[in-house]
Amino acid sequence: MKFKLGLIINPVAGLGGSVALKGSDGMSQKAIELGAIAKSNMRTRAALEVLKPYQSKIEIYTVNGLMGEQVSRELGFKTHIVYACGPESTAKDTENAAQILKQQDVDLILFAGGDGTARNICHAIEDSIVVLGIPAGCKIHSGVYAITPKAAGRVVELLIKGELVTVQDADVMDIDEVAFREGSVKAKRYGEMQVPSELRYIQSVKNGGKETDELVLVDIAAFVASQMEDDERYIIGSGSTVAAIMEEVGLKNTLLGVDVIEDHELIASDVTATQLFKLITEHNNKGLKTKLVITLIGGQGHIFGRGNQQLSPELIRLVGRDNIILVATKTKLQALNNRPLICDTGDSKLDDELSGYIRVITGYNDHVMYGVGHQESIGTKMTIQEYIDQAQQFFEHLVETASDDELFAGSYIQGHFDLAVGYAEVEALELSIDELNANIEKSLVKAYRNGELSDEDKMHVVTVWEKLKKVL
């Protein structure tokens, strides 16, 4: 499953700052004449360099030339050009590019600029897709920007690694640059967009610092109920998480079946696939919208194909991916240990269309982004590069969670792991995972025999090594 990263760079963002123009809006040419040097591509490079270890997992969708293509190709990312601008880019190019990236169903739009650029993107797509700004402008008043370019890269890295990343609404602000140049600061809110932020592990509903699932379900249910619109039909899937929503709106729920509600009234209970498709087709033919509320079913993280077979491929297509409301507690998601959610609809093409990152409601106005795969991809054999990448993630995770003895053992193993990988690369060896592991174990045994470790340290190293192989 590749992460589809949208990229837009405002090539002239920040030009005015270094030559004391207090902004670049309408002043790009003058700034250049005064000797200003564009830095937005350089700052984008700093963000993307953080993601270079994950190049095999990312495809970048962007604009030609300095609006994204150049830096993406220079860093070796697989790059798709979805919009072409002229020799001199404009605000309209930014807006057009954002709209096309939304149509491309990218997982996130990463953009470089200032408050003016954020305004353009907000005007084009509002809060319909998750975005994140790389600070490159003179004015950064909006809450949609990371604190530094590298910080922006780190947040995207969390998404690619499958970490739980909260999605929040953030204000898009801007000031009147003409007034600012005359000494008057007039800030104005222009809207809001969805941005990822570092996961807040401590929620508003907690018990000893941990989620209390029963209370979190109340939060989730209250939020979904508050978002329900009149004249929209809601298909309510099975499972206890979804049942909490029905309880919130005061309606009888079919725990192991599928119900349909409209205007907070139950209009069909425990429906079959045929009945459901007919109900939704009639509703949609009137030009009205239908939304599908589901949760994870089963310990493997299925969202389709387990316990909700009434949701046929035809129905899911009719509803559309954008109208799927997925709910789950963070505890339930964390239990998956970064494994993707699974689609097993019986239609492999649909499963593929549903793959990618999806927003999961995890509390009241609290969301995270989580990866969705499909049954066929889950069972595919891991490549050697994927194994190496996941091993590095294992070592990084040890730093955050392990005891001192485990940290020592992990660091020791990582040295031998990196040595074996480096040797294979230098010698151009095409090793299997088993062959790589065998070489690492030979290196470890040689170290044992040379007396590098005490018996106690050896025991810790063996324990962590076996744990790494088991996890991967």
Question: What's the mean pLDDT in 284-309?
Answer: 84
Domain ranges of the chain: 3-197, 213-378, 384-471
Lowest-pLDDT choice from 130-134, 428-432, 442-446: 428-432
Residue 21's pLDDT is what?
A: 39
> How sure is the predictor about 301, in pLDDT bands with cuts at 50, 70 and 90?
confident
Q: Which of 139-143, 281-285, 355-359, 370-374 has the highest mean pLDDT?
A: 281-285
Residue 446's pLDDT is what?
A: 85
**Percentage of the chain surpassing pLDDT 70?**
83
Does residue 210 register a pLDDT over 60?
no
Does residue 47 register a pLDDT over 60?
yes
> How sure is the predictor about 219, in pLDDT bands with cuts at 50, 70 and 90?
confident
> How sure is the predictor about 24, in pLDDT bands with cuts at 50, 70 and 90?
very low
Does residue 187 register a pLDDT over 50?
yes
Residue 458's pLDDT is what?
A: 87
Residue 139's pLDDT is what?
A: 57
> How sure is the predictor about 335, in pLDDT bands with cuts at 50, 70 and 90?
confident
If one compares 28 and 86, the residue with the highest pLDDT of the two is: 86
> How sure is the predictor about 291, in pLDDT bands with cuts at 50, 70 and 90?
very high
If one compares 443 and 80, the residue with the highest pLDDT of the two is: 80
For domain 3-197, the CATH class is alpha beta
How high does pLDDT run on average in the chain?
A: 81
Residue 185's pLDDT is what?
A: 43
If one compares 328 and 448, the residue with the highest pLDDT of the two is: 328
Residue 213's pLDDT is what?
A: 65
**Percentage of the chain surpassing pLDDT 90?**
32
If one compares 367 and 337, the residue with the highest pLDDT of the two is: 367
Does residue 386 register a pLDDT over 90?
no
Q: Could you tell me the strand order of the sheet in which 78-83 lies?
A: 78-83, 58-63, 3-9, 108-113, 131-135
Residue 32's pLDDT is what?
A: 43
> How sure is the predictor about 93, in pLDDT bands with cuts at 50, 70 and 90?
very high
What is the residue type of 362? T
If one compares 109 and 25, the residue with the highest pLDDT of the two is: 109
pTM: 0.55
Residue 257's pLDDT is what?
A: 84
